[in-house]
Amino acid sequence: MATLLCPSSIAKPGAKLFGVQNASGHIEYLDEPIIVDKTFVETARQGRVPEERFRFASNCIKTGCGHWTGEGTGCGLVVRIVDGMNRKAEATLVACAIRERCRWFHQQGATACANCDEIVRNVRIGEAIAGASQTK
C-alpha cells in the first residue's frame, strides 16, 4: 500500500492541494489534487495564511507529528475532530481527490469525511468545534 496522506498538511513544495475554502467557510474539494511548487507557495503566502484557505495533503509522518498517538491508535487529531464535531456520515460521500490514501479516512472511515469540510489547519480545533456546535 502507498504511504497514507495527512489531509492537514502545510503549504510546501510537493504538497497536494486538494481543497479550497469557499465563502461560507466550507472546503470545496478539487476533482484532482494539484501538486504545488515553490512559486505557488510564495504567492499564496502573500495573502492570508494559505493553510487557512486551502487544504493540503502530504505523506503522513507518523511519529514525526505531534498528533500521532501510536501505531494502534494513529492520528489523534482526527479522533478529536470526529468526537468534537460529532457529524454522522451521509450515505453518499462528496468526491475527494485524496480519500483513497487519506490517513483520516483509513482510520475513521466515512465519519472522518463527514467532519472534514470545515477544517482548516490554523484554526484551533476548539474554535472549529465550538463553531460547528453553534450551527447545529
Q: How far apart are alpha carbons 18 and 33 in whole angstroms?
A: 5
Does this model's pTM top 0.75? My answer is yes
Give the model's pLDDT for residue 27.
93
Specify the 3-state DSSP secondary structure of 96.
coil
- For 29, phi then psi, to 5°, come to -85, 140
Give the model's pLDDT for residue 3.
92
- For 79, phi then psi, to 5°, come to -65, -45
Give the model's pLDDT for residue 109.
94
Q: How far apart are alpha carbons 4 and 23 in whole angstroms?
A: 29
Give the model's pLDDT for residue 10.
93
Give the model's pLDDT for residue 125.
43
Give the model's pLDDT for residue 72.
83
The Cα-based distances of 46 to 39, 41, 50, 121, 123 in angstroms read 11, 9, 9, 17, 19
Contact 45, 135 (CB under 8 A): no
Give the model's pLDDT for residue 2.
76
Give the model's pLDDT for residue 136.
43
Ranges in the chain, pLDDT < 70: 1, 122-136
